A and B are shown apart, each in its own frame.
Chain A
Amino acid sequence: MAKRIGMEVSIAASEAVKLADVDLIAAYPITPQTHIVEHLAEVVADGELDAAFVPVESEHSAMSCCIGSSAAGARTFTASSSQGLALMHEMLFIAPAMRLPIVMVVANRALSGPISIWNDHSDIMAEQDIAWIQTFAENGQEVFDLVLHAFRVAEDSKVLLPMIVNMDGFTLSHVIEPIEILDKAEVDKYLPPYKPKVRLDPRKPVSMGLVGVPEIYTEAKKATNEALINSKKVVVKAWKEFGDLFGRYYNPVESYKTEGAEVILITMGSISETAMTAIDKMREKGLPVGLVRFRLWKPFPATEFKKAIAGAQTLAVVDRALSPGGACGPVAEEIKAALYAERGRPKVFNFIAGLGGRDVTVENFEEIVSRAFTYAKKRPKQLYEMIGVREI
């Protein structure tokens, strides 16, 4: 097994793409995702990767190009962020409808305005209903592992859906971390070549992406949604196989010190590591707190989540995006909906933190937990609150 080396996480992501031996990359540079495709352009130009690199004129074209490439049966990759992801928006829905296993890394960044290049989850939360499988990485090693996992899951004949690996912009994308890069033989054991069930081939013509008249549109949407819901089995199985091969095991939902916890913090992405430090600190003080974090976001792992939080009276859900004018942040909304029918469900309080690159500190988590304990006794007036906002 390879030794761990210091590497920028974006480069590690592109090394995973290289090891996956992709056939085509179509991408447009946008901060903080640029280093991923920049490195891929280099390895293609240097002959280290036999792939087509298509430098398109926009992200809309990038996703269009990826759709065409994947439809032709090629293993296809792209990456984006924020405004770039937003510009892809209308094409994003087409890939799952056509059942094309494109893999994309999103270096999460705030959406304008005001203009922000810094990290939060507002870009991806604006794309909740695109029917892509989505995972969130916590650290550099996870980014590398989840990219390989994404190709494995997306291309599985039982799945055939596109997949996004989310990684926090700058906090992960631009940080150098010790990462174990697998060698090609190891990756080949895990990731077989892509065998499309149907593809564009002049020798055997098919039509793809046709009109869905009112008599068929509903059935088409149902078919894609069922495929997305059922993909969870393969997501879990592919993580188990990854763990058996390489020793790193992943789950849709991870728990940290939840035994006997009265309040459980809920997080997603890189702030989970800070949250764990905060949990350690609070546990030392004797506070019954734990952490549950999502690695799989879509399809929403409701069963695993309910199991993970069983026994807790209070949940403090941290959202890194605002849902303006709505009931709460997107993660809290999903959780509340999942718990509504449960008997003896916990109280759910929602905290919006870390918008537009603002750090979420150990102290912030302590404050969130402290408020959750208070609110558990006396319900607050507001449905959610923004942490660290200056109320003047």
Chain B
Amino acid sequence: MAKIDAIMGWKELDLGCVIRQPGSSRAFKTGDWRSQRPVVDRDKCIKCGLCWVYCPDLSMVPAEEGYYKVNLDYCKGCGICAKECPKDAITMVLEED
């Protein structure tokens, strides 16, 4: 269910909370409890794609010119991309910073 639907009242729920629209989980942004987010330094990035390979939530996505960017709708801030990056091109920064 989409974030916007999650504020629906109990009378608005479908019978047994059934979901009739396929693929609706895409509308559910799961990244809202992240405490840190990855920031990519393109000066250091060699476009190897390891962050894309290792991200457990498919939140590293191919971007223009062969670079990769973060999809913050789903990124949980786990830091695996930063850990795996062979060039230390990814830094985890606190969300509130």
Smallest distance from the beta carbon of A229 to chain B beta carbons, Å? 13
Query: Is B63 an interface residue, CB under 8 A from the partner?
Result: no
- Nearest A residue to B16 via CB reads A99
- Interface pair A215/B15, CB less than 8 Å apart: no
Smallest distance from the beta carbon of B32 to chain A beta carbons, Å? 10
B residues 38-75 in Cβ contact with A at 8 Å: none
- Interface pair B19/A219, CB less than 8 Å apart: no
Q: Tell me if A's interface is mostly helix, strand, loop or mixed.
A: loop
Select the residue from B6, B11, B16 with max chain A CB neighbours within 10 A. Answer: B16
Residues A206 and B19 in contact in the complex (CB < 8 Å), given A213-B6, A215-B6, A216-B6: yes
- Nearest A residue to B12 via CB reads A219
B residues 1-52 in Cβ contact with A at 8 Å: 1, 6-11, 13-20, 22, 24, 28
- Interface pair A220/B17, CB less than 8 Å apart: yes
Bound-complex Cα distance A43 to B40 (A) = 69
Question: Which of B11, B15, B16, B17 contacts A216 (CB under 8 A)?
Answer: B17
What is the total number of residues of chain B having a CB less than 8 Å from a CB of chain A?
18
- Interface pair A223/B10, CB less than 8 Å apart: yes
Bound-complex Cα distance A208 to B18 (A) = 5
- Interface pair B16/A208, CB less than 8 Å apart: yes
- Interface pair B16/A198, CB less than 8 Å apart: yes
Query: Is A210 an interface residue, CB under 8 A from the partner?
Result: yes
Query: Is A98 an interface residue, CB under 8 A from the partner?
Result: yes
- Interface pair A219/B13, CB less than 8 Å apart: yes
Bound-complex Cα distance A197 to B20 (A) = 12
- Interface pair A197/B15, CB less than 8 Å apart: yes
A residues 186-217 in Cβ contact with B at 8 Å: 197-198, 205-208, 210, 212-213, 215-216
Q: Find chain B residues with CB under 8 A from A348 CB.
A: none
Bound-complex Cα distance A90 to B13 (A) = 23
Bound-complex Cα distance A223 to B18 (A) = 13
- Interface pair A198/B10, CB less than 8 Å apart: no
Q: Find chain A residues with CB under 8 A from B6 CB.
A: 213, 215-216
What is the total number of residues of chain A having a CB less than 8 Å from a CB of chain B?
22
- Nearest A residue to B7 via CB reads A215
Bound-complex Cα distance A97 to B17 (A) = 8
Residues A206 and B13 in contact in the complex (CB < 8 Å), given A215-B7, A216-B1: no
Q: Find chain B residues with CB under 8 A from A207 CB.
A: 18-19, 22, 24
- Interface pair A210/B7, CB less than 8 Å apart: no
- Nearest B residue to A226 via CB reads B10
Q: Find chain B residues with CB under 8 A from A98 CB.
A: 16-18
- Interface pair B17/A206, CB less than 8 Å apart: no
Residues A198 and B18 in contact in the complex (CB < 8 Å), given A215-B7, A223-B10, A226-B10: yes
Q: Find chain B residues with CB under 8 A from A222 CB.
A: 10
Question: Which of B1, B10, B11, B22 contacts A205 (CB under 8 A)?
Answer: B22
Q: Find chain B residues with CB under 8 A from A213 CB.
A: 1, 6, 28
Smallest distance from the beta carbon of B33 to chain A beta carbons, Å? 10
Smallest distance from the beta carbon of A319 to chain B beta carbons, Å? 33
Residues A219 and B8 in contact in the complex (CB < 8 Å), given A205-B22, A206-B20: yes
Question: Which of A160, A205, A210, A218 contacts B17 (CB under 8 A)?
Answer: A210
Per-position binary interface string of chain A over residues 226-252, scored 1 when its CB falls under 8 Å from any chain B CB and 0 otherwise: 100000000000000000000000000
- Nearest B residue to A99 via CB reads B16
Bound-complex Cα distance A206 to B1 (A) = 13
11 contacts between A and B (CB under 8 A): A97-B16, A97-B17, A100-B16, A160-B15, A198-B20, A207-B18, A208-B18, A215-B7, A218-B10, A220-B10, A220-B17
Q: Give 13 A-B pairs besides A210-B19, A219-B13, A223-B11 with Cβ atoms closer than 8 angstroms.
A: A98-B16, A98-B17, A100-B16, A198-B14, A198-B15, A198-B18, A207-B24, A213-B28, A215-B7, A216-B13, A219-B8, A223-B13, A223-B17
List 7 A-B pairs, minimum CB-CB distance, nearest first.
A99-B16, A215-B6, A219-B10, A207-B19, A222-B10, A98-B16, A223-B10
